[in-house]
Amino acid sequence: MNQEKMLGKFFVCEAPKNGKYVKSINTIREYKDGRRFLIDEVVIADKPINILATEKDDMGGLNVTNYQSVLRWIIRGDTLCDVTIPDDGKIYETVSPSVIHGTFRADKIILSNPRIIDDNLALELYQKSNLPWKSYIQILAYISTQNFNETCYKIFEDKINKENAKQALDIYDNYLQIRSNPMPDLYNEILGKIKKLINE
């Protein structure tokens, strides 16, 4: 990425307001700070966007993404919403090592059309996605704990083979920071499938 053309360390450029943006939020699980995102109303960021920020915590704004990248972020919420940028709002593309042209910060947003993220929706998002290979293996680990069977089987079929199985195993089995004992059946099933590929 050409640093000379960037607006700041984390900000690439101003993004079009009329883009098809989405955001995953919690409506079933609660946020630790008790926050709730309003639907069909303007939501203003707690901190204003700071394009000159040198630390991520100082960037401000609200994170949003697009349909090509949102699969990577469903770990952040249980509900998917469409995002509209108000006429007086601003949105910027930001730098991300795990998503290409898929992370944005907006100073204000309107959320609409909330849908609970289930296996069917996750599979639809996967089919629309365009992510680095590593991101698919990471999200596979997460959704296997949510019992998204069809999406897990599809990602495994499409993205993991004998040639990359060892690398996939290392990513898959080390990604989740919060783990149960025992892990869910689907998680262990996918783990076994990856190990079987290695041993073939």
Q: In whole angstroms, what is the distance from residue 174 CA to residue 60 CA?
A: 30
* Same-domain pairing of 41 and 111: yes
Domain with 8 in it: 3-117
Check whether residue 70 and residue 111 sit in a common domain: yes
Instruction: Judge if 38 and 74 occupy the same domain.
Output: yes
Q: Is residue 58 part of a domain?
A: yes
pLDDT at 71: 96
> Is the pTM higher than 0.85?
yes
Return the pLDDT at 31. Answer: 59
What is the tens place of the pLDDT at every residue in 24-77?
999 876 655 667 888 999 999 999 999 999 999 999 999 999 999 999 999 989
**Residue 16 shares a structural domain with residue 100:** yes
Number of residues that this document lists for the chain: 200
Check residue 101 and give its pLDDT: 85
Burial of 7 per CB tally in 10 Å (0-12, 13-18, 19+): middle
CA distance 84 to 20: 8
Domain boundary, last residue among 71, 93, 117: 117
Q: How far apart are CA 140 and CA 125, in angstroms?
A: 13
Together in a domain, 167 and 92: no
Say if residue 108 is in the same domain as residue 136.
no
Closest by Cα among 74, 67, 195 to 140: 74
> For residue 30, what pLDDT is reported?
62
Same domain, 98 and 165: no
Whether residue 155 sits in one domain with residue 82: no
pLDDT of res. 96: 85
Q: Tally the domains of the chain.
A: 2
Examine the fold and report which residue of 56, 87, 117 is the final residue of a domain before the chain moves on: 117
For the chain, which residues score pLDDT lower than 70?
Answer: 1-4, 29-34
Tokens 């991300």 correspond to 96
